[in-house]
């Protein structure tokens, strides 16, 4: 974090400022750094999800369920139904995993609905110069999540087929052979293809989510620039300010679909990969 705090003076600096993470190494370019804002925001949101769902579960009423309880039950039933339709294994881990992934991603995506300057201005009072409030717009967060999902699928595969069966399938698929000699010849090819497949799963999960949320965040920043009076670049007319409010409202309504859809896709692919892990080729 920089010792001196200065407000961005141009639209370019404004966008660059909001797209910069609060890092352990803010100005020196190094290979390894830790994004503190991504870590803490995602962690707080995760604990908030657990606290709310845990509280609803403890206070659940069968006779007189409240509206919020019915809303939570609707989400749980939707996720449970999707898992039942897609996953055909016997693991009890997939349904809780799918629910956690869906709600966590929805809540992290929903941070995009906060005014872009709200939390950064609040934290600037405490000397924090940079703050990126949408964890899923950070490729490091989405890569960590997708890597965790793939590791879980590997665990499910080993659990369903045994370590020997998993390794045997890893080196005998997707190309099969009847003779032992051809099986040995195909081992490096199959191993390479499997590594490419797992790598593509990690990248597809991470890049799809991060790319969509980064683009959404950038659009909100561009809309914020319409209100030049609020950002301090120059004087703005009442028409410009009205245009900002109108454009922001329209994009926020449309962005609701993106937020939920991206979380649903991430959850669905997670379930599909888990199902593929326990099934035989």
From the first residue on, what is the mean pLDDT of each consecutive set of 10 residues in the chain (281 residues)? 50 81 69 85 95 92 88 94 91 93 96 86 85 92 96 94 91 82 87 93 94 89 67 53 72 88 95 90 59
Other CB atoms within a 10 A radius of the CB of residue 206 amount to 22
Give, rounded to a whole angstrom, the gap between the first and last alpha carbons of the chain. 50
Question: What phi, psi does 35 have (nearest 5°)?
Answer: -85, 100
* pLDDT at 129 (0 to 100): 83
Other CB atoms within a 10 A radius of the CB of residue 203 amount to 13
Nearest to 103 by CA among 81, 78, 138: 78
Cβ burial of 153 (10 Å; 0-12, 13-18, 19+) is buried
* pLDDT at 6 (0 to 100): 52
Q: Which residues are catalytic?
A: 204, 208, 212
pTM equals 0.85
CA distance 257 to 252: 9
* pLDDT at 281 (0 to 100): 59
What lies within 8 Å, CB to CB, of 105 at 6+ separation is 136, 145, 209, 262, 263, 266, 267
Whether residue 9 is preceded by a cis peptide bond, meaning omega within 30 degrees of 0, is no
* pLDDT at 19 (0 to 100): 84
Alpha helices in the chain (DSSP H): 11-19, 36-58, 67-86, 94-110, 118-124, 139-172, 180-224, 228-231, 238-278
Report CA-CA distances (Å) from 163 to 94, 159, 160.
20, 8, 9
* pLDDT at 235 (0 to 100): 46
* pLDDT at 107 (0 to 100): 96
Report CA-CA distances (Å) from 229 to 47, 155, 219, 224, 235.
37, 54, 18, 10, 5
Check if the beta carbon of residue 263 is closer than 8 Å to that of residue 102.
yes
* Per-residue burial over 70-79, b = 16 or more CB atoms within 10 Å of its CB, e = otherwise: eebeeebeeb
pLDDT digits (tens, 9 = 90+) for 157-184: 999 999 999 998 899 888 877 788 888 8
Residue 260 has which token pair?
Answer: 């939920």
């Amino acid at each position: 974090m920089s010792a001196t705090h200065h407000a961005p003076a141009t639209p370019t600096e404004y966008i660059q400022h909001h797209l910069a993470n609060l890092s352990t190494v803010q100005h020196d370019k190094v290979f390894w750094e830790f994004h503190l804002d991504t870590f803490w925001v995602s962690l707080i949101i995760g604990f908030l999800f657990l606290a709310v769902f845990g509280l609803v579960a403890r206070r659940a009423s069968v006779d007189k369920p409240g509206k919020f309880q019915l809303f939570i039950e609707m989400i749980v039933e939707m996720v449970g139904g999707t898992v039942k339709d897609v996953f055909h294994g016997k693991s009890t881990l997939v349904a809780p995993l799918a629910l956690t992934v869906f709600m966590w991603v929805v809540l992290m995506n929903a941070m995009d609905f906060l005014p872009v300057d709200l939390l950064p201005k609040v934290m600037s009072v405490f000397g924090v110069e940079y703050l990126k409030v949408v964890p899923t717009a950070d490729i490091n967060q989405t890569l960590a999540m997708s890597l965790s999902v793939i590791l879980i699928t590997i665990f499910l595969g080993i659990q369903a087929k045994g370590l020997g069966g998993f390794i045997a399938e890893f080196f005998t698929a997707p190309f099969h052979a009847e003779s032992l000699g051809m099986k040995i010849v195909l081992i490096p090819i199959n191993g390479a293809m499997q590594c490419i497949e797992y790598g593509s799963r990690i990248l597809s999960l991470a890049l799809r989510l991060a790319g969509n949320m980064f683009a959404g965040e950038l659009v909100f920043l561009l809309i914020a620039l319409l209100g030049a009076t609020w950002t301090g670049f120059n004087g703005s007319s009442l028409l410009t300010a009205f245009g900002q409010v109108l454009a922001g409202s329209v994009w926020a309504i449309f962005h609701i679909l993106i937020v939920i859809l991206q979380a649903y896709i991430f959850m669905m692919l997670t379930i599909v990969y888990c199902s593929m892990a326990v099934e035989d080729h």
